[in-house]
Chains A and B, each alone.
Chain A
C-alpha cells in the first residue's frame, strides 16, 4: 500500500474544532510544512496537544500567535510569550502537564490503557481534581489517557508503507503520538522503496501511519 501523498491531497482532512497532536520539542522534530497547512487554511478552534508552544515563529508557535487554538495541553509555554498572554486574558485555555506525564498520557491513549499512575506532581497543584492511589505505601496520581483526531509527525525517512525512522533529538514525542490519533500524517525528508529500510531499524511501524508527505522545502536543511 502506497501511503505517499501530495500536500494538496491532505488539505481537506483538517477541520475547525479538531484535536491535533503535533510532535516536536521547541520546534525540533515538528513538521513545519504540516503546521503551515493549518496556518494557510486558517483552521480554527483547535485543541492542540504538544510538548511546548515553541517560539512565536517556529514549531507550533504560529498556531498560537494566529489565535487558531482554543485549548492547548502542554508542558511548557515559556518560550512563546503569546501563549501566556492569551491565557491570562482568557482567550485560550492552557492545561499544563509535566512532560513525562504528558508522554505517558499519550502512550496510554494509544496503547489501550485506562490511565497511568505516576508520583510526579504529588503535593503540587498538578494533583488538583485527580484520583490518588496508594500502592505499597506510596502515593501516585491517576493520569488519564489522551488521544487526538489527527497526529502530525516529523520523521527523517519513510518507506512507501509508512515505516518511519527519526533522526537525533527530532524523535522526542513523534513515535508516541503515532499511536494515539485516528489519523496519523508524517512529514519526512526522504522516501525510499519498501524493503530498503531494515526492519530492525524501523522506529515507528508503518501500520500506525496513514499518510506520508515529503518535506516541502520549508527550512530545508541538507543532512
Chain B
C-alpha cells in the first residue's frame, strides 16, 4: 500500500526540492522542521539551530539535557558540527551566512511582506529569531497551509497583522501552489496535482500572475 502524505508532509516535500547540496539552512518550528525528512537523494545540507550551533541532527539514543533544538526538544549534533554563543548564531543569520530559511506564516502579501509573530490582543508569542532570519537569510521560504482554518485567505494584497519583515519573502509553498515573489508581484509557478487554476485563484486574495511556464508541483517524494 502506498504511504499517504498529510498536507504538511506534502508542503515539506515540495520545500525540500529547493535545497541545494551544501546549503546552510534554518528550519522554523513546526511544519518547516519536517523538510529535513524529505531531502532529495544526494542533497546534504547543514542545519543551523538558532540557539547556538550548526550541524543539528536527530536526537541520539542517549538524551543530552544540554543539547536541544530551537524548540527546546532534545537534539543531536553531527560530527563536524560546531557550537557557539547567541552572538555568533545571529551574526551568521544577519551576515548572509545562512542560505535558506523556512518559516511558517500567518499572512504574506504582494510586496513579499511576512506576518507571523503576533495577533494583537490574542496571540503574542514574540518574534524570537524570526525577524533576524528574514532580513539575513539569502532565501526566505514561507511554508504554510494556503488558507486559515476558517477558510480565510492568508496570501493577501496587503498584510493586516504586524509584520515580521518588509519585502523579505522569496517564495511561498502551500499544499495548493508554489508562488514566487518578484519585483512585479506574486507569480504562480506551480499548482498541486488535481487542483485547478481557478481553485487556487479563488482561495488567494492577492493578485497572482500566472507564469508562462506554469507546471504541476514537483515533490521530493510522493
**Interface of A toward B, CB cutoff 8 Å:** 25-29, 51-52, 74-79, 84, 87-88, 96, 98-101, 103-104, 107, 118-126, 156, 166-176, 203, 219, 221, 223
Contacts and interface: CB of A to CB of B under 8 A. Distances in A.
A28 B86 contact: no
A29 B51 CA distance: 10
Contacts of A176: 85-87
Contacts of A122: 135, 166
Interface residues of B, number: 44
Contacts of B65: 28, 219, 221
B72 A168 contact: no
Candidate in A120, A171, A172, A174 with the most chain B CB atoms within 10 angstroms: A120
A100 B130 CA distance: 9
B132 A125 contact: no
Contact of A52 (B89, B91, B126): B126
Contacts of B166: 122-124
Interface in B146-178: 162-167
Shortest 8 CB-CB distances between A and B: which pairs? A78-B125, A123-B166, A100-B90, A100-B132, A26-B72, A168-B66, A76-B126, A98-B131
Contact of A78 (B86, B87, B126): B126
A219 to B, nearest CB: 8
Contacts of A170: 66
B163 A124 contact: yes
29 contacts: A26-B68, A76-B125, A76-B127, A76-B128, A77-B124, A78-B125, A78-B128, A87-B124, A96-B126, A98-B128, A98-B129, A99-B86, A99-B90, A99-B128, A100-B89, A100-B131, A101-B132, A119-B94, A120-B135, A120-B136, A124-B163, A168-B53, A168-B83, A169-B49, A169-B68, A171-B52, A173-B85, A173-B86, A223-B66
A104 B90 contact: yes
Nearest to B70: A25
Given A168-B83, A169-B49, A124 B66 contact: no
Interface of B: 49-53, 64-68, 70-72, 75, 77, 83-87, 89-91, 93-94, 113, 121, 124-132, 135-136, 162-167
Nearest to B65: A221
The interface residues of chain B, by DSSP majority, are classed as loop
B52 A169 contact: yes
B126 A175 contact: no
Contacts of B68: 25-26, 28, 169
A78 to B, nearest CB: 3
B169 to A, nearest CB: 13
A122 B84 CA distance: 27
B66 A167 contact: yes
A99 B50 contact: yes
Contact of B87 (A103, A118, A156): A103
Nearest to A100: B90
A167 B164 CA distance: 32
B163 to A, nearest CB: 5
Contacts of A29: 66
Given A167-B66, A168-B83, A169-B53, A27 B72 contact: yes
A84 to B, nearest CB: 5
Interface centre among B72, B87, B121, B131, by most chain A C-beta atoms within 10 angstroms, is B131
Contact of B84 (A100, A107, A171): A171
Contacts of B136: 100, 119-120
A123 B162 CA distance: 10
Nearest to A27: B72
Contact of A25 (B51, B90, B127): B51
Q: Which of B67, B75, B132 has the most CB of A within 10 A?
A: B132
Given A76-B125, A99-B86, A171-B83, A118 B94 contact: yes
Given A78-B126, A118-B94, A172-B86, 9 more contacts: A52-B126, A96-B126, A98-B131, A100-B86, A120-B94, A123-B113, A126-B127, A168-B77, A171-B84
